[in-house]
Structure 1
């Protein structure tokens, strides 16, 4: 039995319009079972990218390198 699937089923049972949830994970695969409303990516404790469920799908297909490059580019001062 897949432990991530069991956790996801428990989370889905608790989901309701009256309840907000925050799921923090390093396991992209859990998003096969839990469909998020929003996806936020954190690097070094800062949110560097936000989007909808499509962001989670893109991360699974392309990995995180493109976000790291994007975050590094934004961190460089323009007058440097």
Structure 2
């Protein structure tokens, strides 16, 4: 991603198998820095099990 301050990821886990889900989680974890934010929208816990956030806000 182009070093954005905010990445909005809307249901990126839809239709993924476990291996692809882990690949996506590794990519998202690679985006996380102290200078940016990620808004992740999902209906399932399974992706969130692999993400390692510093802060979480549940809406």
- TM range, normalised to the smaller chain? 0.5 to 0.7
**2:58 partner SS:** strand
Larger radius of gyration: 1
1:14 matched residue in structure 2: 31
Once residues 2 and 32 of structure 1 are traced to their aligned partners in structure 2, the CA distance between those partners, rounded to angstroms, is 13
Answer 1 or 2: higher relative contact order, Cα 8 Å, separation at least 6.
Answer: 2
TM-score after normalising by structure 1: 0.44
Structure 1 residue ranges, 4+ long, deviating more than 4 angstroms after superposition? none
Pick the structure with more helix per residue: 1
Once residues 33 and 23 of structure 1 are traced to their aligned partners in structure 2, the CA distance between those partners, rounded to angstroms, is 13
Unaligned runs of 5+ in 2: 1-17
Once residues 19 and 13 of structure 1 are traced to their aligned partners in structure 2, the CA distance between those partners, rounded to angstroms, is 12
Unaligned runs of 5+ in 1: 42-80
CA RMSD of aligned residues (A): 1.6
